[in-house]
Structure 1
């Protein structure tokens, strides 16, 4: 263990060096024009992240309209996460070849087309899933390319300010999504949620006029690697929603082929050397577990509030509103704490708050709905802290030439955690696998499955905290002492 830790610390120290900039030099007039696009960059990012969290609260309404099981309705969230996760890496790679301007415009148009299609064809559940996939494909371009633009065109000082603002926007969008989704689904109809992202079309003329023109660069997208990765993910998620063992076998077979392929390909989907970094591998695991547990709670909560307490979508939004407000307030606090106290301190704080929240949710299920609402505040605050701190922790263990692809793959894994864990949670609830009467005050038998599931997510977060302490956290502490 000590030998492995020494190797990890050495890797971290090698990576903690100034990143070599690859920003394309822009003239002063071009920079002036580019900065005029910054508010619109924030604008489209808000709607991109908002869509990730908004649909979860509408699942009871979709389930009722289309007469679906919990597993079936989970695909409204799952298919979006699958496509956006893979799409973020694809658009990140394409940005090394094509103009960011043309790519983000393509993403905005595709995102909007999927939104219009979903609203128009909401009476057909298969059409809804196709529309969600199109939304995910277009939406993937926005966060992926926003980070590319910030890294490529802005100075270090400007990047720091912009990343702080981005953290606040992302935290607020994740928090306010269920509130807005509940209000719209409760007041109008859940299908109107498809129309919420359409204001991003207003950004098109500003992006066309203000974003810089870039020449096409040499390179190509690894289509075979992309298809193999898509096959791995899709078969794995299909396995989690069903009982067909052959889907798991197919996913593992595709994984073996993928690993063999990227070792031989000239321009692989992802550089295999990236995974030789032990700390990075632990970062991927921690990111998957962290984002997965939060997405599990966000998917479970609307179902819990609807089935146990009989709340409609609007009241579900009201219960979740304090959490959304706290995410907005504490989003930038987490960024500032990371700068002042370091990512390790903020990771400990964020994971502790998340664990406390899930523990409180588990013990409150079947009791006071307002106590559940209060516990959600701690979850949103903890998650807003973790977004900044975990990204910073992973960035610090990557060498400069792996920053782009490394963070792209990290974002994909974290996003796909939502797809995989949501599918697993839906299956667990359908099969009633974790029905636990935690304490005698819970008398409603319907609450047992939800309280047991939330207790399980609490234990996962505790395990994640311990994993961080003995890997990234320990390496960070020892490296800081050594330096």
Structure 2
């Protein structure tokens, strides 16, 4: 049975199977935010543990995404996707039943590993199943589902936490995963791309060590300062691991990441924008959720609703831009979007002791417009500035850097949030740092990305 006839026979069900996994793994990036206060109280977690609850998942996604994609090329996209769903479900069960913070953190890392394999295979399965006009529609639906995940996550997390328990935000993944497994077995054909070379284990290990050590060192700064051995040792280890990773990827025959791609000025600009966009727009939301619930005493549902204007503005903007601005260049979409994200963060960084949640709304909307303009263009822009045979690597690198940017953003902004100021003042500092990040990234993209080449 050919892949083309598979699409004819099963219709859009393979797309549903792939989108179900993508939706679930992307929801789990941020669904935890509104449940943080309840988790902290129930499991007696420290502020550092809270940061790792967010970063462990994102780091596993970032560290394993490229390697998972390479492995799936050999073992089969469908097989890897099915195993990833099972790993994700079991890890979600462990999260939901975790008796302590340590167990929860470990399960989140395993959950992120399963999520990395899911993210690496869903688009590949869609691409292998659909062709021509159907493929364009399928990619559009996949992108819309990804955007919907960001919109739904805070509210869904609030509803489950407030009306059931924080453990429900993880346990809800079990029936969804089982449904995705059943649908995949019934409707999705196997797909593999042989001849892609050996798996780059050395690159994967050194990249993981570099990303993990850097994040650990930055998180430890908040408690122990910049001169502590608990900060300096992991930061030094990160520098060494990153240097070794560079040597391995430069000299290897089958690199996980071909560093020669970054010789293209436009490609480097896109990648830098991708890495800085996520901390500028999203990393600050975890601390906003703490302020909303611990200081303003909002419930989880209300806290989720208070954060939703950004996601809703992003959805509306992405749909409107696709319909009315189809020829918008990557330079304009990503650079302009980042400038709007920076402006939105600046508007949010004006809180005082009398501020309510409504003070965030204008800035959230402006940020959401920027997100809706920029994120849909990232993967296609990266692929357009890379050689054809490296297009898949370019798209995977974008997602890797986005997750790494989120993990590093949570670590860095956590230093600002626990600096002893009043919570609203500390949150102002976080948003000002987000504003600087977004504005600098936007200007960098506008300065480096060639305007003539469309995504």
Give the structure-2-normalised TM-score: 0.90
Q: How far has the Cα of 1:239 moved from its partner?
A: 0.7
8 Å CA contact retained: 1:98, 1:214: no
Q: Does 1:412 align with 2:400?
A: yes
CA deviation map 1:267-295 (0-9, x unaligned)? 22222322322222222211111112122
CA deviation map 1:150-200 (0-9, x unaligned)? 333432432322222222211111122111112221222211111122212
More displaced, 375-384 or 278-287? 375-384
CA deviation map 1:1-49 (0-9, x unaligned)? xxxxxxxxxxxxxxxxxxxxxxx96352564237431122222221121
* Gaps in structure 2 of 5+ consecutive residues: 222-230
Q: Which residue of the partner structure matches residue 278 of structure 2?
A: 291
Q: Which residue of the partner structure matches residue 44 of structure 2?
A: 67
Q: How far has the Cα of 1:139 moved from its partner?
A: 1.3
1:230 pairs, out of 191, 201, 208, with 208
Q: For 1:207 and 1:248, how far apart are their aligned partners in 2?
A: 42
8 Å CA contact retained: 1:225, 1:269: yes
Q: For 1:137 and 1:358, how far apart are their aligned partners in 2?
A: 31
Q: For 1:30 and 1:311, how far apart are their aligned partners in 2?
A: 47
1:341 pairs, out of 328, 342, 350, with 328
CA deviation map 1:219-240 (0-9, x unaligned)? 4322222111111111111111
8 Å CA contact retained: 2:7, 2:130: no
User: In 2 relative to 1, CA 451–169 (structure 1 residues): closer, same or farther, beyond 3 Å?
Assistant: same
Residue aligned with 2:32, SS: helix
More displaced, 280-289 or 124-133? 280-289
Q: For 2:189 and 2:11, how far apart are their aligned partners in 1?
A: 7
Q: How far has the Cα of 1:351 moved from its partner?
A: 2.5
8 Å CA contact retained: 1:334, 1:388: no
2:370 pairs, out of 382, 387, 411, with 382
User: In 2 relative to 1, CA 255–355 (structure 1 residues): closer, same or farther, beyond 3 Å?
Assistant: closer
User: In 2 relative to 1, CA 447–206 (structure 1 residues): closer, same or farther, beyond 3 Å?
Assistant: closer
Residue correspondence of structure 1 range 64-213 to structure 2 within 5 A: 64-121=41-98, 123-198=99-174, 199-213=176-190
Q: Which residue of the partner structure matches residue 4 of structure 1?
A: none
User: In 2 relative to 1, CA 321–26 (structure 1 residues): closer, same or farther, beyond 3 Å?
Assistant: closer
Residue correspondence of structure 1 range 253-402 to structure 2 within 5 A: 253-337=240-324, 339-366=326-353, 367-402=355-390
CA deviation map 1:307-352 (0-9, x unaligned)? 3312222220121233343344334234335523333333344224
1:470 pairs, out of 433, 447, 455, with 447
Q: For 2:271 and 2:328, how far apart are their aligned partners in 1?
A: 23
8 Å CA contact retained: 1:176, 1:325: no
Q: Which residue of the partner structure matches residue 199 of structure 2?
A: 221
Q: For 2:265 and 2:2, how far apart are their aligned partners in 1?
A: 35
Q: For 1:360 and 1:82, how far apart are their aligned partners in 2?
A: 29
Structure number with higher relative contact order (C-alpha < 8 Å, ≥ 6 residues apart):
1
CA RMSD of aligned residues (A): 2.2
Give the structure-1-normalised TM-score: 0.85
User: In 2 relative to 1, CA 212–183 (structure 1 residues): closer, same or farther, beyond 3 Å?
Assistant: same
User: In 2 relative to 1, CA 335–183 (structure 1 residues): closer, same or farther, beyond 3 Å?
Assistant: same
Q: For 2:313 and 2:259, how far apart are their aligned partners in 1?
A: 40
8 Å CA contact retained: 2:21, 2:122: no
Q: Which residue of the partner structure matches residue 439 of structure 1?
A: none
Q: Which residue of the partner structure matches residue 441 of structure 1?
A: none
Q: How far has the Cα of 1:374 moved from its partner?
A: 4.2
Q: For 2:238 and 2:393, how far apart are their aligned partners in 1?
A: 23
Residue aligned with 2:439, SS: helix
Instruction: Tell me which structure has the larger Cα radius of gyration.
Output: 1
User: In 2 relative to 1, CA 240–87 (structure 1 residues): closer, same or farther, beyond 3 Å?
Assistant: same
Q: For 1:153 and 1:277, how far apart are their aligned partners in 2?
A: 32
2:233 pairs, out of 237, 246, 252, with 246
User: In 2 relative to 1, CA 349–467 (structure 1 residues): closer, same or farther, beyond 3 Å?
Assistant: closer
Residue aligned with 1:476, SS: coil
Q: How far has the Cα of 1:216 moved from its partner?
A: 7.7
Paired positions, count: 442
Residue aligned with 1:378, SS: helix
8 Å CA contact retained: 2:338, 2:374: yes
* Gaps in structure 1 of 5+ consecutive residues: 1-23, 436-444
Q: For 2:437 and 2:164, how far apart are their aligned partners in 1?
A: 37
More displaced, 232-241 or 456-465? 456-465
More displaced, 363-372 or 397-406? 363-372
User: In 2 relative to 1, CA 356–365 (structure 1 residues): closer, same or farther, beyond 3 Å?
Assistant: farther
Q: For 1:196 and 1:178, how far apart are their aligned partners in 2?
A: 15
